[in-house]
């Protein structure tokens, strides 16, 4: 059997679990969680350097940038212009020329702006970026983003950090059915069953942060998510049985002990 690889734009990975690096209780827990998860792609945010505390440990002291491919996000950006600027800064920092594009004007539900996301994608693709847009689960938008050159689409299962699972299931199914690029379910995954379910439906990968970072034991949850993603992927490739309205016995219905004939 040929190896089942995930290709996002020009990059290829074995793991189908992308992990965030935010919200861990300590850098040590983050480091161990990343390791246990088997992830190859980790997201980071760009923020002002803390000028007042030199010598304080930072993410970089705990993140092996040789081992993991760093995917910069544009979290915190409310407009296309802001997001484009963050992508430029990330590239100037020497990070890979790809970006998890988030344009989020709404602070309560953190729902992305579809129009600004499309505009920013179009511009960044023109500039040679590989763009991974974070979107609401809108199949039409997903198609438009592919048309302008997005290398994946990343529909949310439910709002960021909410752990509500896959609330947009029918829409995500349509996106998967129509997509020519890998579909990465990003946001809302609360438990391994959510991740496995997304993979069973044919998602190419899942991007998870809070469900691991804020778990009672993040390192153990990272392992659980790894297994769930692998199980879900294998189930998708294997092909699940159809749902039937009536039972179908698993054991033979003939040769019953003590039957008259």
Catalytically annotated residues: 100
Among 88, 97, 143, 223, contact with another protein (rule: CB under 8 A): 88
26 binds another protein (CB under 8 A): no
Binding range to another protein, per CB under 8 A, among 68-76, 150-158, 172-180, 231-239: 68-76
Q: Map residue 160 onto helix, strand or coil.
A: coil
Kindly state the smallest distance separating residue 44's Cβ from another protein, in Å: 4
Considering CB under 8 A, how many residues would be counted as binding another protein? 39
249 binds another protein (CB under 8 A): no
Among 11, 13, 59, 149, contact with another protein (rule: CB under 8 A): 59
Binding mask 184-203 for another protein (x = CB under 8 A): ---x----------------
Among 51, 238, 247, 248, contact with another protein (rule: CB under 8 A): 51
Kindly state the smallest distance separating residue 47's Cβ from another protein, in Å: 5
**Assigned token pair, 197:** 């379910």
Structural contact between residues 40 and 13, judged by C-beta atoms closer than 8 angstroms: yes
Binding to another protein (CB under 8 A) within 147-186 occurs at 160-161
Q: Alpha carbon of 255 to those of 196, 242, 247, 249, 250: distances in Å?
A: 39, 28, 20, 14, 14
For 224, half-sphere exposure in the C-beta direction (CA atoms, 13 angstrom radius) is: 18
Q: Measured between alpha carbons, how far is 172 from 194 in angstroms, rounded to an integer?
A: 13
Kindly state the smallest distance separating residue 97's Cβ from another protein, in Å: 13
Among 43, 117, 121, 146, contact with another protein (rule: CB under 8 A): 43
Give the burial class of 5: count Cβ atoms within 10 A of its Cβ; 0-12 exposed, 13-18 middle, 19 or more buried: exposed
Among 8, 44, 181, 198, contact with another protein (rule: CB under 8 A): 44
49 binds another protein (CB under 8 A): yes
Kindly state the smallest distance separating residue 32's Cβ from another protein, in Å: 14
Q: Looking at 136-186, which runs of residues are DSSP E strands?
A: 154-155, 184-186
Query: 3-state SS string over 183-237?
Result: EEEECCCCCHHHHHHHHHCCCCEEEECHHHHCCCCHHHHHHHHHHHHHHHHHHHH
Structural contact between residues 208 and 225, judged by C-beta atoms closer than 8 angstroms: yes
C-alpha torsion 224→37→177→137, nearest 10: 90
Binding site for another protein (CB under 8 A): 20-24, 30, 43-49, 51, 54-55, 58-61, 63, 65, 70, 72-73, 75, 88-90, 92-95, 160-161, 187, 207, 209-210
């Amino acid at each position: 059997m040929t190896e089942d690889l995930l290709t996002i734009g020009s990059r290829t990975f074995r793991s189908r679990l992308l992990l965030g690096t935010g919200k861990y209780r300590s850098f040590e827990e983050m480091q161990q969680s990343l390791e246990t998860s088997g992830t190859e792609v980790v997201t980071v945010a760009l923020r002002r350097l803390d000028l007042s505390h030199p010598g304080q440990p930072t993410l970089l002291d705990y993140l092996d940038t040789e081992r993991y491919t760093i995917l910069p996000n544009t979290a915190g950006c409310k407009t296309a212009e802001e997001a484009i600027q963050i992508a430029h800064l990330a590239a100037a920092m020497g990070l890979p020329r790809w970006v998890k594009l988030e344009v989020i004007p709404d602070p309560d539900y953190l729902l992305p702006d579809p129009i600004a996301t499309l505009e920013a994608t179009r511009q960044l693709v023109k500039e040679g970026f590989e763009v991974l847009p974070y979107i609401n689960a809108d199949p039409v938008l997903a198609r438009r983003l592919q048309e302008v050159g997005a290398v994946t689409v990343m529909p949310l299962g439910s709002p960021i950090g909410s752990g509500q699972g896959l609330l947009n299931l029918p829409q995500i199914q349509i996106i998967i059915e129509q997509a020519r690029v890998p579909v990465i379910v990003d946001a809302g995954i609360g438990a391994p069953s959510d991740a496995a379910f997304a993979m069973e439906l044919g998602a190419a990968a899942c991007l998870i942060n809070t469900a691991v970072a804020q778990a009672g034991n993040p390192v153990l949850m990272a392992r659980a998510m790894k297994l769930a993603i692998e199980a879900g992927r294998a189930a998708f490739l294997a092909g699940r049985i159809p749902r039937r309205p009536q039972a179908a016995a698993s054991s033979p219905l003939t040769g019953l002990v003590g039957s008259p004939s």
